[in-house]
Structure 1
């Protein structure tokens, strides 16, 4: 039996029930030779004496599969026999009847139901009488009579006898009845094999009841009992303070015991990887060395039985549709393994993302790192410490600093790009079984890429993310930006031009008041947008590179265009008194940069004199670019000519006041800090007049957004 789960992309993953194998050909655990040997022994029995055989195996080791193969092997051996000479197989699973009033009644009912008319009336009568003598009740009589030749009338007659309390008149002792039944069985040509499976699933009282039952009927000729159980569990069930010798029952009852052959670890590994391959289908696994280290270090050691394989494979199959394509396969399987087999460690990892994702810095107290490592290892058995210390850093590289005194360079882009659990953005996907609003799905990225042929369409897509507010604060635009940074290096050369053009058109949308001036990773937003676009521009020829920036200057992303042209000017030492940056090759030639500066000044002047520059809430970089590249006098004249206009002064104050934070001794939170660069502002505007305007606004109570207050605070700041 199986259940097929389907994800949103139409992918399916099979969840298979813990179904035992039934045929020799289905053997995947090396049980076939064992099954054929037991079947050969059963087939060769002369049948004069009763026999009790036990097959022992650990919980979940595939005992039922092995016994099913015994039955299959025996059936094949006897296929050439006449039907009346073949062994009768009686299957009794007491676990199906667990918690019923009397398992003994259920046992005899199953035996009688299976035998039916296959044996003589003497055997059938003998079994019914034995059942009555052993159980001391008439319920079993009702079940037995329902199999008599009376056919349709049998059940009403049986119920009438039970209701009236009638009994088959028989004054013989149990011993006499057993002797008569034994004689009837000796006259038969067919053997009976009674298989009692899953004994180790029963509660202790029921286990004792089953062994008492077998003991009472164990020596009947032509009858072989095949008991299937975990020996250790059975012994614990038989042990009682009032009967310290109870475990010796096993030696008195069972004449032959066989242990299931151990399943080779390689067979369990192969069985699991086959199941896993069917579940994850065509998901790529590019780093086979990493997969091997994680598999043998974290996953395989917990696969001790076929049931372990089934449990883990089913857990993955159930969860996979929700995360398919959004997680690293090796990491996901490892995390699911810990969830099933090391729940304490799993919970610890789930609750400590800040300590496990990202990079471990070399500064800080060694004692703190050691304490963290010791706390983590305390959650697993000491015998597994050395293995997990080697394997877990493949999943969480930060742990190498703790367990091996080795630091890895920060490569968060690789972790994000490969959707690993060590990525801060991906971490919760592995534990929530869903992306939430903090992760951009593969499907969403594909939708964005599909819009790159039309830059205006790209702006619309990005705008949706900026309009989508996150529960934790900010917008999904910042999440998208982080994803674009991680994937910037992977843009194919043949798609670089259209990708860069589309992202340049949408760049200014990432500058919004909700996300603020810094990303959740505490990067200035203009840097972050540069990290997302500059690696793509670098793939292009200088001519195409410069052409795209010229388009951007005339396009809707003037803020970012100003930033990137200013950065390139900085590379050539053209801002202030800085020298050219000679440690790396400039992005563009000096002549190309000068031409871009000219175009940028022209666009900013046009915005200023048309009165539209004030639509930018953060125009400070544009004002300074205009001053640096076009001459300070034109800017100063423009400011002086508009300073008395309504709202212009407040807009200048907002642009000239920089904002940061400070953390003083004793503070539990950071405080906002405003600064004003008095010297540079004085080059562009009458700072005394601006100060007077600010004081007047505060005094008049017209400083609704505290713009003037912040400007005055910046003027008085000592920073």
Structure 2
């Protein structure tokens, strides 16, 4: 005779303990260094979904397949958490996957007052009853969200990049492809480059090649490489800093492309990323004298676009344009006072030569060097004479129309995408030229240009933005 009886339900703590042991075996050992973070993520996102041995088996089987594909390229704690959501909370998983810019970049400023939390709930947790629990789990994955759901603002996004966290825009997609993102910089690629940071030709060639490699989102791998190097700048030996930075500076003009200009909620371009890179390599790791010596040597032969950029930054630190702003503390400056003056002199010599040789008009991001040139001149006659000649040349007028057209990206509370708007950056134009003569020449040129051509488009957009500014002010 057979007697039926019920097996007792396993104690959840036993199931969780066995699951942790299985995870440890799959990943080849969690290790002491990441144990706290991994266990925090386990208890926040994995354990609440594992109620039975069957749940644990399902999770273990899935992880044994997905983890080997991304091992070394993602954060273990974040990966076990997002895997639990993929298996047991697919609606949250899909919401995260489909809203990268929201979870990685949003702040309270992107929402109307007091509407941020409700908006996040409606996007990320629309079908979830126990929202508080999942809010807590998502905040662990995406600390920025704590400023919207709570009141705590988290910094340290550079750490997310370095640790390849899910909250890093640079590594986000790897978690969802179940393979290494071909557009991301892999650990092995980065390790190889870090072996040769003192080879300036190799660093310059790396960036020049990368800017020709367009990623699926339209940006280039130069942006990806700069982002990766910024995250690991403190691993570059100080005795290799000068050749490394000289190589990066040498490529600055070529990598400064519109494709890598940040849009929407982000900001930045490749010149700014090179500035962040030198900060990562030198700041807080060198004395002012050591840093100044390295930078002055590294920038001396750099392209004029980067020389002007660095000169402006170094000068502003010691001589703020805003009279109410104090100079930076001595130890926080890029260069010593004497080397800042020397850098100014190098810049003046280089820009004067470029103007005489005819290459200056073709310099990218021309506005800032022009204003800097005028700022440094005791008598601005050379600058005004040069500009007066340029605004009489059709080709130069098109270049200047492009250079004096800036862009902003805006998004209403009801929209999910940002829209670009043109702005006429003509404030202070009379310090460079006769604005009315410039405008009259552009209007005359517009009538002569072939309709639909790139030149006609550039001139037309600038004139339209200038007209809008006249009517509505400088917004």
Asked if 1:682 corresponds to 2:427, the answer is no
Aligned equivalent of 1:426: 171
In 2, Cα distance between equivalents of 1:279 and 1:360: 36
Q: Any idea what the Cα deviations from partners look like across 1:480-530, whole Å, max 9, x if unmatched?
A: 333344444565656544543333333333311433476982335543332
Are residues 662 and 351 of structure 1, via their aligned partners in 2, closer, same or farther at CA, if it must alter by over 3 Å? closer
2:383 corresponds, among 635, 646, 665, to: 635
Asked if 1:697 corresponds to 2:445, the answer is yes
Work out whether residues 197 and 236 of structure 2, in 8 Å CA contact, stay in contact via their aligned partners in 1.
no
Work out whether residues 438 and 476 of structure 1, in 8 Å CA contact, stay in contact via their aligned partners in 2.
yes
2:194 corresponds, among 445, 449, 457, to: 449
Work out whether residues 401 and 407 of structure 1, in 8 Å CA contact, stay in contact via their aligned partners in 2.
yes
**More divergent stretch after superposition (559-568 vs 660-669):** 660-669
Taking structure 2 as the reference length, the TM-score comes to: 0.82
Are residues 519 and 597 of structure 1, via their aligned partners in 2, closer, same or farther at CA, if it must alter by over 3 Å? farther
2:421 corresponds, among 648, 651, 672, to: 672
1:341 corresponds, among 83, 88, 101, to: 88
How far did 1:601 drift? 1.2
Question: Secondary structure at 2:223's aligned position in 1?
Answer: helix
Asked if 1:364 corresponds to 2:112, the answer is yes
Larger Rg: 1
Asked if 1:470 corresponds to 2:218, the answer is no
2:154 corresponds, among 409, 413, 432, to: 409
Work out whether residues 552 and 561 of structure 1, in 8 Å CA contact, stay in contact via their aligned partners in 2.
no
Work out whether residues 27 and 67 of structure 2, in 8 Å CA contact, stay in contact via their aligned partners in 1.
yes
Aligned equivalent of 1:193: none
Asked if 1:602 corresponds to 2:353, the answer is no
How far did 1:634 drift? 2.5
Are residues 489 and 365 of structure 1, via their aligned partners in 2, closer, same or farther at CA, if it must alter by over 3 Å? farther
Work out whether residues 550 and 599 of structure 1, in 8 Å CA contact, stay in contact via their aligned partners in 2.
no
What is the aligned length?
461
In 1, Cα distance between equivalents of 2:55 and 2:218: 42
Are residues 578 and 709 of structure 1, via their aligned partners in 2, closer, same or farther at CA, if it must alter by over 3 Å? farther
Work out whether residues 553 and 562 of structure 1, in 8 Å CA contact, stay in contact via their aligned partners in 2.
no
In 2, Cα distance between equivalents of 1:648 and 1:360: 41
Asked if 1:581 corresponds to 2:327, the answer is yes
Work out whether residues 681 and 687 of structure 1, in 8 Å CA contact, stay in contact via their aligned partners in 2.
yes
Q: Where is the helix percentage greater, Structure 1 or Structure 2?
A: 2
Aligned equivalent of 1:313: 60
Q: Any idea what the Cα deviations from partners look like across 1:339-387, whole Å, max 9, x if unmatched?
A: 22333443343334344334542763435524644786674575xx665
How far did 1:428 drift? 2.5
Aligned equivalent of 1:322: 69
Q: Any idea what the Cα deviations from partners look like across 1:225-275, whole Å, max 9, x if unmatched?
A: xxxxxxxxxxxxxxxxxxxxxxxxxxxxx2x45655655545434433333
Work out whether residues 488 and 532 of structure 1, in 8 Å CA contact, stay in contact via their aligned partners in 2.
yes
| RMSD of Structure 2 on Structure 1 (CA) | 3.7
Aligned equivalent of 1:223: none
Aligned equivalent of 2:316: 570
Asked if 1:709 corresponds to 2:460, the answer is yes
Are residues 370 and 547 of structure 1, via their aligned partners in 2, closer, same or farther at CA, if it must alter by over 3 Å? same
In 2, Cα distance between equivalents of 1:530 and 1:560: 9
In 2, Cα distance between equivalents of 1:263 and 1:689: 85
Aligned equivalent of 2:293: 547
Aligned equivalent of 1:84: none
In 2, Cα distance between equivalents of 1:494 and 1:263: 59
Gaps of at least 5 residues in structure 1 are 1-51, 53-253
**More divergent stretch after superposition (447-456 vs 580-589):** 580-589
Aligned equivalent of 2:306: 560
Asked if 1:459 corresponds to 2:459, the answer is no
Question: Secondary structure at 1:672's aligned position in 2?
Answer: strand
Question: Secondary structure at 1:366's aligned position in 2?
Answer: coil
Counterpart mapping for 1:92-171 below 5 A: none
Gaps of at least 5 residues in structure 2 are none
How far did 1:536 drift? 1.8
Are residues 558 and 552 of structure 1, via their aligned partners in 2, closer, same or farther at CA, if it must alter by over 3 Å? farther
